[in-house]
Amino acid sequence: MPFGGQIEFNFPGASARIPACNARPLTEVAIPGFLVITAVLYAAITSSSIVFIGRNFVQVSEAKNQMEAEFRYTLTRIRENGESIALLGGEEEERNDLDRRFGNVRKQWRLLAWQYMRTILVSQGSLLIAPVVPVLLCTPKFLDDSMTLGQVMQAASAFTIVLSAFGWLVETTRGLRTGTPAPVALRL
């Protein structure tokens, strides 16, 4: 059975056809041009939002690690010098230093948690909104009967595929919630 088919992008006044390698036999999918442009714009907006929000991620993470290291050093120093601290009556001073360092650790963890939350909010928010955008954009064509419901769903599916191709940066940040980077980021 010969496999043919093509994907057609329809722009006002022009259209482009791309042969589909693994298409079903003799099928054609028409993606309205405004959805392709919207997918590119949507990916650019979400990617720039991720870059803007995540710009301090490395600094916050490094500061957290530094504060944890200082806290561990203080604990080790107190453990090793416990007898001399007790003989000199420096418990109060050491306790205050320990409390201050632990407060710094908590502050850095809070900043890191906020950084994670903002990044995941953008990436997951875009994941939730993305399937709705093409349906909303195709609704006027559906209501004036120039598109069927099946065509709207095909266009929505094609929109998500095009969006996932352009939304590389958002996809790579999704691994932050599990602590494992996306496969694309592992190759970099």
Q: pLDDT value at position 187?
A: 45
Q: pLDDT value at position 105?
A: 95
pTM over 0.75: no
39-51 pLDDT per residue, tens: 888 888 988 888 8
Q: pLDDT value at position 18?
A: 53
Q: For residues 156, 116, 175 and 102, what is the CA-based torsion angle, rounded to 10 degrees?
A: -170
The domains of the chain, with CATH numbers, are 6-187 (1.20.1560.10)
Q: Is 52 helix (H, G, I), strand (E, B) or coil?
A: helix
Query: Average of pLDDT values for 161-173?
Result: 74
Query: Average of pLDDT values for 144-158?
Result: 86
DSSP line for 111-178: HHHHHHHHHHHHHHHHHHHTTHHHHHHHHHHHHTTSS-HHHHHHHHHHHHHHHHHH-HHHHHHGGGGT
In this structure, are residues 173 and 162 in contact, taking their beta carbons and an 8 Å threshold? Answer: no
Of the two residues 124 and 187, the one the predictor is more confident about is 124
92-107 pLDDT per residue, tens: 898 899 999 999 999 9
Structure tokens that stand for 1 in this block:
């059975």
26: left (phi over 0), alpha (psi -120 to 50) or beta: left
